[in-house]
Structure 1
């Protein structure tokens, strides 16, 4: 049994090499894995026979078609709310603020999960609420981390309508906010959807590095300053990273 487990573990070491390499020669597999050549040869042959590896005409290996089938099933069956909830609950326990999970629906962001704040003054954002992608940190984190072409197409057609005293009102201001978000890895807003409220939002990325959701911390504006703000940012980034890792994202 121990021998079989060791073989499985070493086979996984070989497969894990392809997380960072699209194609590898047999010699590269041996070099990067550190597995003796004879053992590696047997394992690679078995993985190829099982459609877990594929060899091209130049003798280079890549992940096989079986991973495409499994990958499709995983993405199809995955519930982002269930996946994100442990990180959301941990964040809520640490901060006591409202924690939101947001996804994109065309030109809007939709709140699909929420944990209510334990603070005396609460925000009453409802699950199912929709906001335009430019308004508020929760929505703008989705916009900020979209591919460049999609962002540009959105910026060309969007009409900026005010919701509160801090709503972004010009395309130049919106571009600046997007650029800043991409530099620091999060979005922040003050009084954009409702006066005297604040939010910080962080991107949730899948295995391709594409944004598929956002997680936000939201509360009363006066609490989102100084050392407390830095604490929110540190813990929020970690929560988003934990969820992204579950989706297969690997930070470069």
Structure 2
């Protein structure tokens, strides 16, 4: 009996998974897509509708029920991005042997919420809780890159671009170009923007809605970021950012 119940649960999940790719489905479409017999589909849909997992529209097609909104909100509220990101950050730090930072937006600033240091004796002495303006530094800029266009432009118009290091971008048109390139490439690089003689490479982290929720970066002294090493660092970073995003429910293109 228990085994049969488990089979029913598995089949029900297979049915609900159809709605990941399809917003609305008829009974016949569910049968065609799942390969489950029509009598079983009728039975499962009736049960799922009764529990508010599915809802039926006026045209007879079904969509996910409002109960999923409640579950989704609870999951989103309870996710601790630091805890989720830490295993992947640790693996990245060990691979590249450079500091790895996790940053989120806080108003017009970015704030470091996690950092893993390198074992190299020469290192950057940033710390959790450090803040930086959204326009300066790779990790801050990757966040700014993915802010909605109108809000991003309003920020640029209202913000004075003051220098921190000799590489800080203080020309707004050049900054706009950098932001556009960051969105196109999926990463950005900064040289001596927050501190002189440093390099940072950053990539975005997305949640289940496709919204950017954080930035992750590799950072260190410029002397260790040779030109020929950069592509390898970018590859490791992008793989890690995608891994964390998928842990948060992101289903973007691989």
| TM-score with structure 2 setting the length | 0.95
SS of alignment partner, residue 190 of structure 2 = strand
User: How far apart are 1:5 and its partner, in Å?
Assistant: 2.1
| TM-score with structure 1 setting the length | 0.96
Separation in 2 of the partners of 1:192 and 1:137? 8
User: Which residue does the alignment assign to 1:14?
Assistant: 15
Listed as ranges, the matches of 1:22-171 within 5 Å are 22-171=23-172
Separation in 2 of the partners of 1:5 and 1:228? 51
Separation in 2 of the partners of 1:20 and 1:221? 44
User: How far apart are 1:225 and its partner, in Å?
Assistant: 3.4
Separation in 2 of the partners of 1:102 and 1:76? 18
User: How far apart are 1:222 and its partner, in Å?
Assistant: 2.8
> Does the alignment pair 1:196 with 2:194?
no
Q: CA offsets, 1:74-103, max 9 Å, x none? A: 111111111111111111111111010000
Separation in 2 of the partners of 1:187 and 1:146? 15
Separation in 2 of the partners of 1:173 and 1:236? 24
Cα-Cα RMSD: 1.2
User: How far apart are 1:3 and its partner, in Å?
Assistant: 2.5
SS of alignment partner, residue 59 of structure 2 = coil
User: How far apart are 1:237 and its partner, in Å?
Assistant: 0.7
Runs of 4+ in 1 over 6 A off after TM superposition: none
Q: CA offsets, 1:139-186, max 9 Å, x none? A: 001001112222122122111000011000111111110111011101
User: How far apart are 1:20 and its partner, in Å?
Assistant: 2.0
Q: Which moved more, 1:212-221 or 1:144-153?
A: 144-153
Does the 8 Å contact 1:136/1:189 carry over to 2?
A: yes
User: Which residue does the alignment assign to 2:214?
Assistant: 213
Separation in 2 of the partners of 1:217 and 1:44? 48
User: Which residue does the alignment assign to 1:243?
Assistant: 244
Does the 8 Å contact 1:223/1:229 carry over to 2?
A: no
Does the 8 Å contact 1:142/1:203 carry over to 2?
A: yes
Gaps in structure 1 of 5+ consecutive residues: none
Matched pairs, number: 252
Separation in 1 of the partners of 2:220 and 2:207? 27
User: How far apart are 1:122 and its partner, in Å?
Assistant: 0.5
Separation in 2 of the partners of 1:127 and 1:198? 18
SS of alignment partner, residue 146 of structure 1 = coil
SS of alignment partner, residue 192 of structure 1 = coil
Separation in 2 of the partners of 1:22 and 1:162? 48
Separation in 2 of the partners of 1:164 and 1:212? 26
Does the 8 Å contact 1:146/1:210 carry over to 2?
A: no
User: How far apart are 1:34 and its partner, in Å?
Assistant: 2.0
User: How far apart are 1:50 and its partner, in Å?
Assistant: 1.1
